[in-house]
Amino acid sequence: MKILYVLNSASPGGMEQHVLDLVKSMRGFGHEVFVWCPQGQLTEQFVSAGAIVTIEKVSFDVDPVYIFKLYKFLRKNKVDTIHSHELKAVVNATLAGFFAGTPVRISHTHTPISEWVLPAWKKKLEFVKLFGYSTLINIFGTVEVALTESRKRVKQQEGILQSKLVVIPNAIDPTNFKGVTKKSDVNAFVFGCVGRLTEEKNQELLIDAFAKLKNFAQIPFDSLRLNLVGGGLLESKLKARVAEYGLEDKVKITGVFAESEKVKYYSLFDAFVFPSKAEGFGIVLLEAMAAGIPCLCSNLEVLQEVGGSTCFYFDPFSSDDLAQKMLDLYLRRVNLEALTAAAFERVTQLYAIEKFADTYQALYTSLLEAHK
């Protein structure tokens, strides 16, 4: 098979890691793999994984120049399957694939469009995007991937035909995170979060909740720490928020980090907090579960699907609720071994990388055979 992955970002993130996992998996099956993406931190990792990479960035929602270049590439290389990720890449790649006669055109907008966290003026344009996207997939696409059953239901509500939808969860190799060496500073209890510093990731709420912990007599606030691992558009704003509370000595914001450092950061955490207001899946949650860290997540339906009964949940719009749940977790900290063991087992059984690879291999093969 000749498979092309199209994305409009090569910065560290869940979607980009998803594509890297696909590249590694499909190369492992012996397929020829191409990637179209902008220059970024993951570009060299795509190359190292065995992909032939073309550096291209989508400039517009519908980019005629990009579509034409991709059309010529697909025809020249006789690509069998094009698998595109997120809105701009999906729109342009699906159209290019249709006009080029590419047999299989798979789309994947990881977080459903209706759940995006947008300014009010952009929210008013949401109907146009939803109608345009669902129409594009229903007419020009082969299938749209949803990461969970709840994401599938939302995509159906957005107008995508049920017959066009297939559910395939994200995955990790849990052995990469099992048994990480825990931090040596036993005098501090560290709450940690991993993710881009953006509005939908909701780290500001986490900072607010952390500051409120000093109001609880049951917890020694002087021994608490908060690590926000990641960089992004809101880094300066979040650092200013920390300064407002006078917590610069307790809250660390790392900025952008190398993927190779991720396990080290997880090893510093005593508890993982995931405060997102919108998620397509939440792959960092799997990583924390595999690392044996107690997990406290926003009560999004998708995160409850992923974590099940092995995680704790809170209202992502209430810093008071999050502060209370952080206190509760701290007070129960010495009695959570059974829970973290169950979390690791859940990842192993449901979200292991081998199952992910086999499922996509089967999907690509069946769609290509159906086209013949």
**Mean pLDDT value of segment 187-197:** 94
pLDDT band with cut points at 50, 70 and 90 for residue 183: low
CATH superfamily of 174-350: Glycogen Phosphorylase B; (3.40.50.2000)
194-240 pLDDT per residue, tens: 999 999 999 999 999 999 999 999 999 999 999 999 999 999 999 99
Distance CA 281, CA 67 (A): 29
CATH number of 2-171+352-371: 3.40.50.2000
Q: What percent of the chain has pLDDT over 90?
A: 88
**Mean pLDDT value of segment 174-188:** 73
Given a contact cutoff of 8 angstroms between Cβ atoms, the answer to whether 326 and 297 are in contact is no
Helix (H, G, I), strand (E, B) or coil at 117: coil
Given a contact cutoff of 8 angstroms between Cβ atoms, the answer to whether 254 and 220 are in contact is no
- C-alpha dihedral (362, 364, 367, 372), degrees to nearest 10: -110
pLDDT given for residue 124 in this prediction = 62
**How many other C-beta atoms can be found within 10 angstroms of the C-beta atom of residue 248?**
11
**Shared fold status for 2-171+352-371 and 174-350:** yes
Q: What percent of the chain has pLDDT over 70?
A: 96
**Mean pLDDT value of segment 148-155:** 96
Output the DSSP codes for 38-61.
Answer: -SSTTHHHHHHTT-EEEE----SS
pLDDT band with cut points at 50, 70 and 90 for residue 138: very high
**Mean pLDDT value of segment 350-369:** 97
Q: Where are the domains of the chain?
A: 2-171+352-371, 174-350
Kindly list the strands in the beta sheet with 104-108, ordered across the sheet, starting from the edge strand earlier in the chain.
52-55, 32-37, 2-6, 81-85, 104-108, 143-146, 165-167
pLDDT given for residue 130 in this prediction = 87
pLDDT given for residue 148 in this prediction = 96
Comparing C-alpha atoms, which of 332, 326, 293, 322 is closest to residue 310? 293
Comparing C-alpha atoms, which of 71, 65, 120, 129 is closest to residue 95? 71
Of the listed ranges 53-57, 182-186, 280-284, 364-368, the one predicted with least confidence: 182-186
Widest CA span in the chain: 69
What pTM does this model have?
0.92
Backbone angles phi, psi at 82, to 5 degrees: -115, 125
Distance CA 281, CA 302 (A): 6
Distance CA 320, CA 265 (A): 26
What tokens were used for 313? 């949940």
pLDDT band with cut points at 50, 70 and 90 for residue 348: very high
Residue, of 180 and 356, whose pLDDT is higher: 356
Backbone angles phi, psi at 266, to 5 degrees: -60, -35
Residues 6+ apart with CB under 8 A from 340: 289, 292, 293, 294, 310
Q: Could you give the residue ranges of the DSSP H alpha helices within 185-234?
A: 203-212
What tokens were used for 102? 């590419």
pLDDT band with cut points at 50, 70 and 90 for residue 187: confident
**How many other C-beta atoms can be found within 10 angstroms of the C-beta atom of residue 68?**
12
pLDDT given for residue 372 in this prediction = 80
Rg of the chain (C-alpha set): 21
Bridge pairing between strands 251-253 and 271-274: unpaired
pLDDT band with cut points at 50, 70 and 90 for residue 178: confident
pLDDT given for residue 185 in this prediction = 56
76-135 pLDDT per residue, tens: 999 999 999 999 999 999 999 999 999 999 999 999 999 987 776 566 666 778 899 999
Distance CA 336, CA 333 (A): 6
